[in-house]
């Protein structure tokens, strides 16, 4: 999560945040109006006895919307979603808030979907192992066997669910059952090359993260790297986003680009694209796990 640094001597600080288990994040969006920051801060401090560890806000001036992420610490006894809900609901209703409260513990349950390109999966598994991605990696689903050795090495359950023209619906039913059984919070598409059905997408709104290549200018169609290569682009990019029913048009979470050389051949472009995809996907997953993303009106606010 990065905001609270285990091992750093904080004896000069007045706030004791040593008890990580009591840390919560409150995400809010509502119409912008006078007194919002004060009203929310007051509730947390005076009525709820919270220590505000971090408060970020953002306005969408055009739409007149207000967004806030507050990370706070409370006593164990207060760490109860039902209790918080009862206390906060009147204020939330009055200010027309959409809001979500989450606790740092237990960690979120994550499922990774992958096909035969393994660069994003290998990157996520290594980052998870080194502690960069604080979550419970529940299982990996793939329509290929290629990922099994990596899954075995990192000791993550692996489900091989091959897809063909006739069994697509059936496979999705199995996938959804797996997600439900494991109480999965977020699905990461780490170069999973199958299109998810609208029903699947609707079941996990703002909870499916995908990554794809991006170009300046954009190239549509089946072979964008070939088109970009033919046009002689000087930069290639990658975009991570939440999956919506409109393919690859969901809210953008993160983007990055890299310069390509005219000596780069098609395989070089694809390799550079892979390096970007890994970075851009892992940033999106890290921010999602830290409850740092608010999504609205097909865009995102990132509190990073």
Catalytic residues: 248
Q: Is residue 119 at the binding interface for a copy of itself, with CB under 8 A as the rule?
A: yes
Q: Is residue 100 at the binding interface for a copy of itself, with CB under 8 A as the rule?
A: no
Q: Is residue 92 at the binding interface for a copy of itself, with CB under 8 A as the rule?
A: no
Q: Is residue 42 at the binding interface for a copy of itself, with CB under 8 A as the rule?
A: yes
Q: Is residue 62 at the binding interface for a copy of itself, with CB under 8 A as the rule?
A: yes
Residue with smaller CB distance to a copy of itself, 1 or 178: 1
Contact 56, 68 (CB under 8 A): yes
Single residue of 149, 162, 198, 205 touching a copy of itself by CB under 8 A: 149
Single residue of 26, 44, 140, 151 touching a copy of itself by CB under 8 A: 44
Residue with smaller CB distance to a copy of itself, 80 or 152: 152
Single residue of 122, 161, 171, 227 touching a copy of itself by CB under 8 A: 122
> Any long-range contacts for 47-55 (C-beta under 8 Å, 24+ apart)?
47/87, 48/74, 48/78, 48/84, 48/87, 48/88, 49/74, 49/75, 49/78, 50/24, 50/74, 50/78, 51/15, 51/17, 53/3, 53/4, 53/15, 53/17, 53/23, 54/3
Q: Is residue 144 at the binding interface for a copy of itself, with CB under 8 A as the rule?
A: no
**Span near a copy of itself by CB under 8 A; candidates 83-91, 171-179, 189-197, 246-254:** 246-254
Least distance CB 161 / a copy of itself (angstroms):
23
**Span near a copy of itself by CB under 8 A; candidates 82-90, 166-174, 178-186, 259-267:** 259-267
Single residue of 57, 109, 136, 206 touching a copy of itself by CB under 8 A: 57
Q: Is residue 53 at the binding interface for a copy of itself, with CB under 8 A as the rule?
A: yes
Residue 267: Cβ within 10 Å count: 9
> Of residues 188-217, which lie at the interface with a copy of itself (CB under 8 A)?
214-217
Q: Is residue 34 at the binding interface for a copy of itself, with CB under 8 A as the rule?
A: yes
Q: Cα–Cα distances in Å, from 67 out to 15, 59, 84, 177, 250?
A: 25, 6, 19, 34, 19
């Amino acid at each position: 999560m990065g905001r609270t640094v285990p091992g750093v001597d904080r004896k000069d600080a007045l706030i004791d945040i040593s008890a990580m288990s009591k840390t919560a994040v409150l995400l809010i969006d509502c119409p912008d109006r006078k007194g919002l920051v004060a009203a929310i801060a007051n509730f947390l401090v005076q009525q709820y006895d919270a220590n505000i560890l971090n408060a970020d806000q953002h306005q969408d001036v055009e739409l007149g919307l207000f967004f806030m992420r507050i990370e706070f610490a409370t006593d164990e006894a207060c760490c109860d979603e039902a209790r918080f809900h009862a206390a906060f609901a009147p204020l939330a209703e009055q200010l027309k808030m959409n809001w979500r409260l989450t606790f740092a513990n237990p960690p979120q349950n994550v499922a990774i979907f992958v096909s035969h390109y393994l660069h994003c999966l290998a990157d996520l598994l290594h980052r998870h192992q080194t502690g960069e991605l604080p979550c419970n990696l529940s299982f990996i689903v793939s329509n290929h066997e290629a990922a099994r050795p990596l899954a075995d090495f990192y000791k993550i359950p692996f489900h091989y669910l091959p897809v063909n023209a006739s069994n697509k619906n059936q496979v999705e039913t199995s996938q959804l059952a797996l997600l439900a059984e494991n109480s999965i919070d977020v699905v990461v598409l780490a170069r999973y090359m199958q299109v998810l059905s609208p029903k699947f997408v609707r079941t996990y709104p703002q909870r499916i993260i995908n990554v794809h290549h991006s170009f300046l200018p954009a190239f549509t169609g089946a072979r964008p790297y070939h088109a970009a290569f033919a046009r002689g682009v000087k930069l290639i990019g990658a975009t991570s986003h939440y999956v919506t029913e409109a393919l690859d048009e969901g809210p953008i979470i993160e983007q990055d680009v890299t310069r390509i050389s005219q000596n780069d051949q098609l395989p070089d472009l694809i390799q550079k694209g892979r390096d970007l995809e890994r970075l851009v996907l892992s940033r999106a997953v890290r921010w999602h796990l830290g409850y740092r993303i608010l999504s609205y009106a097909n865009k995102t606010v990132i509190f990073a």
